[in-house]
Chain A
């Protein structure tokens, strides 16, 4: 089943290049993938920890590399996110002027790469699948992008290449940190080997730093973020949805999956650095976001800023914080995808996303306004949306850290500052909403048409996900709890 999940988008992409009808094939592939994930979800054993639905093929006996897939609660959540956003992204792809086939093929390659990375339980393919998305992203921004597309495409490609090769070195070190006879790329066996022979503390620090920088570049952690806003502003909307919503979460998933359980000492050692950097994300980037004058740039920066909260959950390194981080990955993925989707539709109709030019669009595009409003409120963290539930968990998880010390610890300061970050995000999100949909309308936009009836389905899908997990966060928490429980009991 997992094999189907991974190969389906890739096979569909190849079929599209070979000549089958592009939109139909892509949609069928995306929807059948979502369906398969739902089936897996239904048959998934929520109590057991460990990986389920495992299938494994030996690729290299010398190196113990396996083409292996499996899911636990955490990766299942990521797969759910990836497949929902893929359906929405493909659905939101409208008429493409040039190379229509290539556009859909690129989208499916990104989706397949992300799904492959989330479903892999082999370190090598975990890394390799993520890289599969690199060239499609380059092409998507370069061929179909807007604005300063050439610079944006180069920037994202070179940045991510550097980041992922730093990451690769970190992974190689991780692989070599276990005794030579136990060396394997299989994450399960590697975990077992590390549990029985914990890695020496100084080595853990090296590896964790490499992983933090490598993953950090991919996630747009504070000093390494400058590729993200520009790339998302230039990318065509479906590409931005997939990249910001799903692919970027690969790094966070990697930290949760590898760094937290395998390098507890490194996590602890670099905690302070990470907290300072993530405050850079929340406060500094938050303020930068307020200053934006263009909707697409603002969304790009806001997606960088919200990574800070997820990092806060990861940095707190306790069960509550990490579950919150996992939940926020999911919630943010859905809400940012919806924001980019609506923004892309507006750009298609008006040709501009300058706040000065827009305004009052809710009159002509009521449904788009509604959808955007939902996404805005979700992103701010209004109760009733999944984001609220996850951010609450992160804040409680973070503030509990170091509480015993009888004084104001860095985590308490960080949590308070991060709460102010919520205010910042309220400011820019509501301002964006006001200057786009409220106020007086420019006469030029009198004849704009609202989102077509067909587009309401993917919008409804994204909003349904946000609201469901907003009202019933327990369904999500139960899913990932066994994974994190094993992590934190194993390392104590």
Chain B
């Protein structure tokens, strides 16, 4: 029996991704969906393996590889998080394949479409373990570059192409900010390891001004990744233009990794003055902008784009209150409900379209999908007995505990805004008469995934302890 150690998980995912890519090159004739199934099975195996990790002894955590890489409960939790996200995204991609085929006209590159998420997943898994700026940068690039390709995958579609270009340019810009910030911090402290940076800060021998400048630059770079205002401008266009499964992946995987990095990076900078005030300000702007901009949207995909900005705002409230537990729970809830809504969107959009009006009368056409969407929207809005409520609840508890009155007041008003635009979808599904009455076919795999997501959403809405426990040593 070999002891399974944390780094093996990423290696396994990388090998899987490479293997699929290579097979794809030499096997032109077979049905490409087989690669997606292989990916799902492989990732599921890695996911299961992650529950049998042998604990890392703390002795060798200070040298070599362990300078860069940590296997603490937070990172293990988010490794599983990335794996689950990628599995669900692959399921969505199988549903989405016909759309891609019709846009591209042929199916020759579907194999790449199925294998790239695996590489992204490996990047995400490295990212959540990274405790060194160099390693953060490298794994962030692994994630971002594979997303560049995925976003503009249907490259004959001008909207997707536009989305890809926007994402590429702004992504590159944000990377530049990040690297520049890292250089400043390195210049001030002479370190890239987060722990040693923290030690350097607390020694009091560093130039606070310069450190602050570097920290703000890093914050800008990460702000792009998590879509915080004022770095959110790319989000609606990219979310709308990208293939829907990729949008889901972007809004869950990329955002979660961004927040984990933010939590880790902020740890040392807490000593700097004004840092909390800055994050409070960004959080306020983000919740207000995300919710207000989502109000008038008629396209569901765009609506979800803006709502993801709004959720980034709530998460930032948690970050501003330095409550890692609340942020983590919120992200877990966010994963479930966002993936659920995107999964349904993909299925419904194939028959009618992505506008909210295309959901009219869905309760008649497909009661199951309508109910699933109802759960997703209730959870996104933050109704009790769904995971989304516990997420908001924990965030509000920590904001109240920190006496952040402004955050709490704005949070309440924006939550009410949120109810309006999420219930708009519910209204379309249940009140409005439908244009046609054709039933919508749902493959058994998607049905199983949707049911699992619903059950998990409700289960975490009643019993949140598993997630809270996962973060304990």
> Within 8 Å of chain B (Cβ to Cβ): is A161?
yes
Cβ 8 A contact of A161, one of B401, B416, B430, B464: B416
Which residues in chain A, 455-470, are within 8 Å of chain B measured between CB atoms? Answer: none
Q: Which of A37-45, A56-64, A73-81, A248-256 contacts B (4 or more CB under 8 A)?
A: A56-64
Q: Which of B52-60, B82-90, B286-294, B381-389 contacts A (4 or more CB under 8 A)?
A: B381-389
> Within 8 Å of chain B (Cβ to Cβ): is A365?
no
Cβ 8 A contact of A99, one of B363, B383, B420: B363
Q: Which of A127-135, A228-236, A270-278, A436-444 contacts B (4 or more CB under 8 A)?
A: A127-135
- Interface pair B396/A157, CB less than 8 Å apart: no
- Interface pair A135/B400, CB less than 8 Å apart: no
- Interface pair A67/B378, CB less than 8 Å apart: no
Q: Which of B172-180, B189-197, B221-229, B407-415 contacts A (4 or more CB under 8 A)?
A: B407-415
Which residues in chain B, 408-431, are within 8 Å of chain A measured between CB atoms? Answer: 408, 412-413, 415-416, 419-420, 423, 426-427, 430-431
Query: Nearest chain A CB to B397's CB is how many angstroms away?
Result: 5
- Considering the chains assembled together, what is the distance between the CA atoms of A154 and B385 in angstroms? 22
The B interface is mostly helix, strand or loop, or mixed, namely: helix
In the complex where A142-B430, A143-B431 touch, is A169 in contact with B408 (Cβ < 8 A)? yes
> Within 8 Å of chain B (Cβ to Cβ): is A165?
yes
Query: Nearest chain A CB to B314's CB is how many angstroms away?
Result: 13
- Interface pair A165/B412, CB less than 8 Å apart: yes
- Interface pair A176/B412, CB less than 8 Å apart: no
Contacts of B427 in A (CB 8 A): 142, 150, 153
- Interface pair B384/A132, CB less than 8 Å apart: yes
- Considering the chains assembled together, what is the distance between the CA atoms of A153 and B423 in angstroms? 11
- Interface pair B465/A62, CB less than 8 Å apart: yes
Contacts of B378 in A (CB 8 A): 135
Cβ 8 A contact of A132, one of B385, B396, B415, B431: B385
Which residues in chain A, 164-180, are within 8 Å of chain B measured between CB atoms? Answer: 165-166, 168-169, 172-173, 175-176
- Interface pair B426/A138, CB less than 8 Å apart: yes
The A interface is mostly helix, strand or loop, or mixed, namely: helix
> Within 8 Å of chain A (Cβ to Cβ): is B462?
yes
Residues of B in contact (CB 8 Å), total 30
- Interface pair A158/B416, CB less than 8 Å apart: yes
In the complex where A99-B363, A132-B385, A172-B397 touch, is A158 in contact with B420 (Cβ < 8 A)? yes
Contacts of A154 in B (CB 8 A): 420
Query: Nearest chain B CB to A153's CB is how many angstroms away?
Result: 8
Chain A residue nearest in CB terms to B465: A60
Give the number of residue pairs across the A-B interface with Cβ within 8 Å: 78
- Considering the chains assembled together, what is the distance between the CA atoms of A157 and B419 in angstroms? 8
Cβ 8 A contact of B416, one of A67, A162, A169: A162
Contacts of B385 in A (CB 8 A): 128, 131-132
In the complex where A135-B374, A142-B427, A176-B400 touch, is A169 in contact with B412 (Cβ < 8 A)? yes
- Interface pair A168/B431, CB less than 8 Å apart: no
Which residues in chain A, 143-201, are within 8 Å of chain B measured between CB atoms? Answer: 143, 150, 153-154, 157-158, 161-162, 165-166, 168-169, 172-173, 175-176
> Within 8 Å of chain B (Cβ to Cβ): is A11?
no
> Within 8 Å of chain B (Cβ to Cβ): is A451?
no
Contacts of A166 in B (CB 8 A): 412
> Within 8 Å of chain B (Cβ to Cβ): is A139?
yes
- Considering the chains assembled together, what is the distance between the CA atoms of A150 and B401 in angstroms? 38
Contacts of A102 in B (CB 8 A): 363, 430
- Considering the chains assembled together, what is the distance between the CA atoms of A150 and B430 in angstroms? 12
Query: Nearest chain B CB to A342's CB is how many angstroms away?
Result: 27
> Within 8 Å of chain A (Cβ to Cβ): is B463?
yes
> Within 8 Å of chain A (Cβ to Cβ): is B148?
no
Cβ 8 A contact of B419, one of A158, A173, A176: A158
- Interface pair A67/B397, CB less than 8 Å apart: no
- Interface pair A60/B464, CB less than 8 Å apart: yes
Report which residue of B416, B427, B464 has the largest number of chain A beta carbons within 10 angstroms of its beta carbon.
Answer: B416
Query: Nearest chain B CB to A195's CB is how many angstroms away?
Result: 23
- Interface pair A59/B464, CB less than 8 Å apart: yes
- Interface pair A135/B383, CB less than 8 Å apart: yes
> Within 8 Å of chain A (Cβ to Cβ): is B135?
no
- Considering the chains assembled together, what is the distance between the CA atoms of A443 and B359 in angstroms? 45
Which residues in chain A, 46-68, are within 8 Å of chain B measured between CB atoms? Answer: 59-62, 67
Query: Nearest chain A CB to B360's CB is how many angstroms away?
Result: 13
Query: Nearest chain A CB to B385's CB is how many angstroms away?
Result: 6
- Interface pair B415/A161, CB less than 8 Å apart: yes
In the complex where A99-B363, A143-B431 touch, is A168 in contact with B420 (Cβ < 8 A)? no
In the complex where A59-B462, A142-B430, A166-B412 touch, is A172 in contact with B468 (Cβ < 8 A)? no
Query: Nearest chain A CB to B427's CB is how many angstroms away?
Result: 6
- Interface pair A162/B401, CB less than 8 Å apart: no
- Interface pair A165/B463, CB less than 8 Å apart: no
- Considering the chains assembled together, what is the distance between the CA atoms of A60 and B465 in angstroms? 5
- Interface pair A172/B396, CB less than 8 Å apart: yes
- Considering the chains assembled together, what is the distance between the CA atoms of A390 and B385 in angstroms? 36
- Considering the chains assembled together, what is the distance between the CA atoms of A162 and B413 in angstroms? 7
- Considering the chains assembled together, what is the distance between the CA atoms of A17 and B396 in angstroms? 34
- Considering the chains assembled together, what is the distance between the CA atoms of A96 and B467 in angstroms? 43
- Considering the chains assembled together, what is the distance between the CA atoms of A218 and B338 in angstroms? 30
- Considering the chains assembled together, what is the distance between the CA atoms of A176 and B363 in angstroms? 42
Contacts of B416 in A (CB 8 A): 158, 161-162, 165
- Considering the chains assembled together, what is the distance between the CA atoms of A61 and B401 in angstroms? 19
Which residues in chain B, 365-386, are within 8 Å of chain A measured between CB atoms? Answer: 371, 374, 378, 383-385
- Interface pair B419/A161, CB less than 8 Å apart: yes
> Within 8 Å of chain A (Cβ to Cβ): is B393?
yes
Report which residue of B396, B400, B462 has the largest number of chain A beta carbons within 10 angstroms of its beta carbon.
Answer: B400
- Considering the chains assembled together, what is the distance between the CA atoms of A166 and B410 in angstroms? 11
- Considering the chains assembled together, what is the distance between the CA atoms of A128 and B385 in angstroms? 7
In the complex where A162-B416, A169-B408 touch, is A143 in contact with B430 (Cβ < 8 A)? yes
- Considering the chains assembled together, what is the distance between the CA atoms of A162 and B416 in angstroms? 6
- Considering the chains assembled together, what is the distance between the CA atoms of A135 and B416 in angstroms? 13
Contacts of B463 in A (CB 8 A): 59-60
- Interface pair A169/B396, CB less than 8 Å apart: yes
Contact with B along A116-144 (1 / 0, CB 8 A): 00000000100111011011001100110
Contact with B along A65-109 (1 / 0, CB 8 A): 001000000000000000000000000000000010010000000
- Considering the chains assembled together, what is the distance between the CA atoms of A154 and B419 in angstroms? 10
Which residues in chain B, 314-365, are within 8 Å of chain A measured between CB atoms? Answer: 363
- Considering the chains assembled together, what is the distance between the CA atoms of A17 and B401 in angstroms? 41
Cβ 8 A contact of B465, one of A59, A131, A150: A59
Contacts of B408 in A (CB 8 A): 169
Cβ 8 A contact of A162, one of B371, B384, B412: B412
Chain A residue nearest in CB terms to B464: A60
Contacts of A162 in B (CB 8 A): 412-413, 416
Contacts of A142 in B (CB 8 A): 427, 430-431
Query: Nearest chain B CB to A216's CB is how many angstroms away?
Result: 15
Contacts of A17 in B (CB 8 A): 371
- Interface pair B400/A169, CB less than 8 Å apart: yes
Contacts of A176 in B (CB 8 A): 397, 400-401
Q: List 18 A-B contacts (CB under 8 A).
A: A59-B462, A60-B468, A99-B363, A99-B430, A102-B430, A124-B393, A128-B385, A131-B383, A132-B384, A135-B374, A135-B383, A158-B420, A161-B415, A161-B416, A165-B412, A172-B396, A175-B397, A176-B400
Given A142-B430, A154-B420, A162-B413: 14 more A-B contacts, CB < 8 Å: A59-B462, A99-B363, A99-B430, A102-B430, A128-B384, A131-B384, A131-B385, A150-B427, A161-B416, A165-B416, A169-B396, A175-B397, A176-B397, A176-B400
**3 cross-chain pairs, A with B, having the tightest CB-CB distances, nearest first:** A128-B384, A131-B384, A165-B412
